[in-house]
Amino acid sequence: MTSQNVKRAKAGDDFAIQTFNLTRKFNSLVAVDGIDLNIKRGELFALLGPNGAGKTTTINMLCCLLKPSGGTAQVLGYDILKQPFKIKETIGVSPQETVISEHLNPQENLVLIGKIHGIDTRELKSRSQELLETMGLEARAKDQVRKFSGGMKRRLNIMMALIHNPKVLFLDEPTLGLDPQARRAIWEYIIRLKKEKTILLTTHYMDEADFLADRIGIMDEGKIVALGTSRELKTGLLDILEKHTIVIHAQNFTQKVISEMRTRYAEVEVTEDTMVISDKQLGFQEIVDLLHISGVTVSSAYTKEPTLDDVFLNITGKELRE
């Protein structure tokens, strides 16, 4: 799970976003350090990394808001250096900070952005109505945005990024600071967009990436340090750690049983009614049978898999929000 360069795809391959040694420096600081990515059409790709890893800088270059110091990238075949206006016509962007005119209502905000994109009045009305209904804001269509909750503003922000029906959507921290119910509502809508659009998502929430993403890239100090599906990243961590873990809940662990298990397995931790066993090789049924024979009443047992948090911490040595 070390950094790997992704070879430049051949012409005609079905990729929506490609980066080729994409680099950005700010004086002596290398914010993005020669990254190579191939993101397929219709894929939801999550980009994870601690603060300062280079995620937002990468998105700003792909959206043609910031020129690279080296390398280049293509969005739907258009080069970010040579064809920035073509790219801006085909993408939608929902930034970290909500970009909304709060004295306007949702419908007026949508019309404003739609007119900027040159959408016909009749089509704009139809698209606005559809988005308002889909995102559950139809009943508040005439209310000033300043009266909205954070979750409602986030939903409107995404709607404004979608009003011109872009083929590629950039979602930079779309659920940052929202309560679980508001986050789930946005997740459900993002799922509906999958396959219809290519989505590049940045997030500080591991469960969000785990739930939504087809593939995940972990970025640290300007480099892509891991790339794959959630399952691939977790399996890769098991291979690195060479350790499997089983958790057993029971009511009557005796000191004798604990001592016996510690002679058999590399790590055995016991707290009240829980025993956690780790070793290179573990037989689930074998352990349960041994405990039963020893007189332990097992109420539940399961194999503990690594989480994305475990993967991230192992690769970067940092918590996600550092």
pTM of this structure: 0.81
The highest-confidence range among 112-126, 174-188, 302-316, by mean pLDDT, is: 112-126
Q: Based on the domain organization, do 197 and 289 belong to the same domain?
A: no
Q: Is the pLDDT of residue 240 over 90?
A: no
Tell me, yes or no, whether 122 lies in a domain: yes
Tell me, yes or no, whether 273 lies in a domain: yes
- For residue 62, give its domain range: 15-228
Total domains present in the chain: 2
User: What is the end-to-end Cα distance of the chain in Å, rounded?
Assistant: 21
Q: Based on the domain organization, do 206 and 134 belong to the same domain?
A: yes
Q: Based on the domain organization, do 300 and 162 belong to the same domain?
A: no
Please state which of the ranges 140-144, 277-281, 314-318 shows the lowest mean pLDDT.
314-318
Mean predicted confidence (pLDDT) in 134-149: 89
Q: Is the pLDDT of residue 22 over 70?
A: yes
Tell me, yes or no, whether 320 lies in a domain: no
Mean predicted confidence (pLDDT) in 206-232: 93
| pLDDT digit string, tens, across residues 244-281 | 889 999 988 999 999 999 999 999 999 889 999 988 88
Q: Based on the domain organization, do 221 and 253 belong to the same domain?
A: no
Round to whole Å and give the CA distance between 183 and 104.
24
- CATH number of the domain that residue 266 is part of: 3.30.70.980
Tell me, yes or no, whether 98 lies in a domain: yes
- CATH number of the domain that residue 219 is part of: 3.40.50.300
Tell me the pairing of strands 15-26 and 29-40: antiparallel
Residue 14 pLDDT level (bands cut at 50, 70, 90): confident
Tell me, yes or no, whether 10 lies in a domain: no
Q: Based on the domain organization, do 79 and 45 belong to the same domain?
A: yes
On average, the pLDDT of the chain sits at 88
Please state which of the ranges 93-107, 147-161, 234-248, 262-276 shows the lowest mean pLDDT.
234-248
Mean predicted confidence (pLDDT) in 67-79: 96
Q: Based on the domain organization, do 72 and 208 belong to the same domain?
A: yes
Q: Based on the domain organization, do 212 and 249 belong to the same domain?
A: no
Tell me, yes or no, whether 123 lies in a domain: yes
Q: Is the pLDDT of residue 10 over 60?
A: no
Tell me, yes or no, whether 9 lies in a domain: no
Question: How much is the pLDDT for 97?
Answer: 77
Q: Based on the domain organization, do 254 and 130 belong to the same domain?
A: no
Helix (H, G, I), strand (E, B) or coil at 84: helix
CB atoms within 10 A of CB 289: 12
Mean predicted confidence (pLDDT) in 8-17: 66
Q: Is the pLDDT of residue 314 over 70?
A: yes
Residues of the chain with pLDDT > 70, as a percent, come to 93
Q: Based on the domain organization, do 112 and 43 belong to the same domain?
A: yes
Q: Based on the domain organization, do 160 and 284 belong to the same domain?
A: no
Tell me, yes or no, whether 35 lies in a domain: yes
Show the tokens assigned to 317.
């040595």
Q: Based on the domain organization, do 94 and 21 belong to the same domain?
A: yes
Q: Is the pLDDT of residue 44 over 50?
A: yes
Question: How much is the pLDDT for 5?
Answer: 40
Task: Show Cβ contacts of residue 93 under 8 Å, excluding neighbours closer than 6 positions.
Answer: 59, 63, 161, 169, 170, 172
Show the tokens assigned to 186.
């946005």
Q: Is the pLDDT of residue 235 over 90?
A: no
- The residue that leads in pLDDT, 9 or 67, is 67
Q: Based on the domain organization, do 198 and 94 belong to the same domain?
A: yes
Question: How much is the pLDDT for 13?
Answer: 63
Residue with tokens 């009045």: 121
Whole-number Cα distances in Å, 111 to 1, 23, 106, 128: 46, 36, 9, 7
| pLDDT digit string, tens, across residues 167-202 | 999 999 888 878 888 888 889 889 988 878 999 999
